[in-house]
Amino acid sequence: MDNELIKQCTAEAQKWLSPAFDAETQAEVKAMLDAEDKTALIDAFYQNLEFGTGGLRGIMGAGTNRMNKYIVGMATQGFANYVNKAFAGKKDISVVVGHDCRNNSRLFAETVADIFSANGIKAYLFESLRPTPEISFAIRQLGAQAGVNITASHNPREYNGYKAYWDDGAQVLAPHDTGIIDEVNKVTIDQVKFTPNNDLIQIIGGEMDIDYLNAVHEALVDQEVINRQKDLCIVYSPLHGTGRVIIPAALRTWGFQNINVVKEQMVIDGNFPTVVSPNPENSEAMTLGMQLGTKLNADLVLASDPDADRLAVVCRDPKGEWCILNGNQTALMLSYYIIENKKKLGQLKGNEFMVKTIVTTETIAEIAKRNNVEIRDVYTGFKWIAREIKLSEGVKKYIGGGEESFGYLPFDKVRDKDSPASICLLCEIAAWAKDNGMTLYDLLMKIYLDYGFAYQNAISVTKPGKSGADEIKQMMEDFRKTPPTSLGGSPVVCVKDYKTLKQVCDGKESDIDMPATSNVLQWFTADGTKISVRPSGTEPKIKFYVEVKGEMECPKCYPSATADAKAKVDAIKKDLGL
């Protein structure tokens, strides 16, 4: 074990034995210092938590690399300092503060509101847990200058997080992200103003819920379809989180009348007792929903993650068995329906655009292009989609955008992933499909037949702790030094490096037009395969996103096309040493 690193971490940890920290925290730190094995000490103190694609996120506990009220306090003091500088001279600066269902989320949210108020900034604090998209909406609705949402989204139960938002309701981008970090890094614990100015804290709730629900209704495409299929049998689960009240209410305002909830998962609980992990990407999280769906003979089963920005969809295959859609398929279906049906209803005026991330399926781009809708590619992280909406505000009309990780935004009143609006729209799509004698599964097959079959596979390699971070860094360096020349039996014809913003395609080097650099590599092969690799911004993982194209000549050909594609993905994984 690195003695210099232990020495550095010990020095950091000893600072946490001062009276500025409570007795419980001091005891936790002392136990780490006294332990013979210094692994826990190193993991807790080897770095400060940094803003990634999702903000500040980490395991809860004592330490500079952990989520606790002191790290939250120093982050908020730095954020407050930055906000006061950025809006110097403005009267009545305000922020919105929200939180999810996780353990300590309310404590952290109240701590955030206290510190902003102590710095002369009005804090609109939600009365209780609320969906992430409603926090984004409230910032815009109240004309606030910034916002904070305490959430770790879909991470395991031991995590919590801190999402920083700017005045457009989107997560913070450059130059504000680095500006905030610079201010946070200057803060010492004794500088944090923990004592609130209660006159500057305003509790908000019900009225904002109504405004938000009215806004969500703007994502609706065809009311007549819902009116005809208002008895569509819907099963919904909030996975113990923030969607529990808002999403059933949103579905009712759209006109759906047969809404059934998974009662065991309507209970607010940061320990998520009914699931291994509250992540809609994990099929086991949908087990109770599918059981209820079977009992009720439901048309579809839906869930939102704990902060209700991501969603999961389960529909029936031709055998009547439940089929869980992946994030690419969900985004594909939403994008297809928005374009096709807005076009049929004469709602497309020619100035619309859609946005997807660079790792999301290229079939969305194909649908947009064939229907003369502009498509834009952005980095992973919904703040980049929000940036495109802001850049075109008042000039071009945003009609939808999403990413493969189960996040979509079908309207522009929110600037983050929005599962309430997306779930409502998916139920409208299911109603439209039923109106046309199809299931959601049938509709997916139709999209593949019309626009081409593609199969996606996301591979996450977890490398925890300091050693893991070093290993991930080395993997990216090795891929840059010696990129693959062939993947899955097809030659690599294009390499894109978003860290240098250079690409080499068919032997020719050129620049990549993006607003910033990012630690992402992409390889494209002659047969249309796309592979993207990047370290996660919020978890100790390196992620690989594989999309392969295939032949599918009929709906019944889907299983064989999928099997062929999976075999190709296995060959690609072998080529990459995974």
Q: Note whether 189 and 21 are within 8 A (CB).
A: yes
Q: How far apart are CA 193 and CA 178, in angstroms?
A: 22
Query: Which residues are paired to 456 by β-bridges?
Result: 547
- The set of long-range contacts for 21-26, using a CB threshold of 8 Å and a minimum separation of 24, is 21/62, 21/70, 21/189, 25/62, 25/68, 25/70
Q: Which residue has the tokens 């208002």?
A: 230
SS (H, E, C) 375-409: EEEECCCHHHHHHHHHHCCCCCEEEEEEECCCEEE
Instruction: Going residue by residue through the chain, which has 578 residues, state the pLDDT in tens, using 9 for 90 and above.
Output: 688 999 999 999 999 999 999 999 999 999 999 999 999 999 999 988 776 545 688 999 999 999 999 999 999 999 999 999 999 999 999 999 999 999 999 999 999 999 999 999 999 999 999 999 999 999 999 999 999 999 998 889 999 999 999 999 999 988 898 888 889 889 999 999 999 999 999 999 999 999 999 999 999 999 999 999 999 999 999 999 999 999 999 999 999 999 999 999 999 999 999 999 999 888 999 999 999 999 999 999 999 999 999 999 999 999 999 999 999 999 999 999 999 999 999 999 999 999 999 999 999 999 999 999 999 999 988 999 999 999 999 999 999 999 999 999 999 999 999 999 999 999 999 999 999 999 999 999 999 999 999 999 999 999 888 888 889 999 999 999 999 999 999 999 999 999 999 999 999 999 999 999 999 999 999 999 999 999 986 678 999 999 999 999 999 999 999 999 999 999 999 999 88
Token representation of residue 256: 């759906």
Crossing angle between the packed helical segments 206-216 and 132-142, to the nearest 10 degrees:
100
Contacts of 211 (CB under 8 A, 6+ apart): 137, 141
Domain 455-576: top CATH class: alpha beta
- What strands, in cross-sheet order, belong to the sheet with 56-59? 56-59, 159-166, 146-150, 94-99, 122-126, 201-204
Strands 352-357 and 397-403: parallel
Contacts of residue 134, Cβ cutoff 8 Å, sequence gap at least 6: 98, 208, 209, 212, 246, 420
Structural domain boundaries of the chain?
47-107+129-196, 212-451, 455-576
Q: Domain 212-451: give its CATH code.
A: 3.40.120.10
Please tell me the distance from the alpha carbon of residue 538 to that of residue 152, in angstroms, as a whole number.
9
Q: Which residues are catalytic?
A: 153
Spatial separation of the C-alpha atoms in residues 130 and 205, rounded to whole Å: 9
DSSP labels, 224-267: HHHHHTTT--EEEE-TTSTHHHHHHHHHHHHT---EEE-GGGSS
d(CA 282, CA 458): 12
Kindly report the pTM of this predicted structure.
0.94
Asked if domains 212-451 and 455-576 share a fold, the reply is no
Amino acid at 99: H
Query: Domain 47-107+129-196's class?
Result: alpha beta
Work out the burial of residue 417: count CB atoms within 10 Å of its CB; fewer than 13 is exposed, 13-18 middle, 19 or more buried: buried
**Spatial separation of the C-alpha atoms in residues 152 and 163, rounded to whole Å:** 9
Which of 165, 78, 147 lies closest to 387 in space, CA to CA?
A: 165
> CA-to-CA distance for 292 and 235, rounded, in angstroms?
7
Contact (CB, 8 A) for 240 and 305: no
Radius of gyration of the chain (CA): 24
Tell me if 496 sits within 8 A of 487, measured CB to CB: no
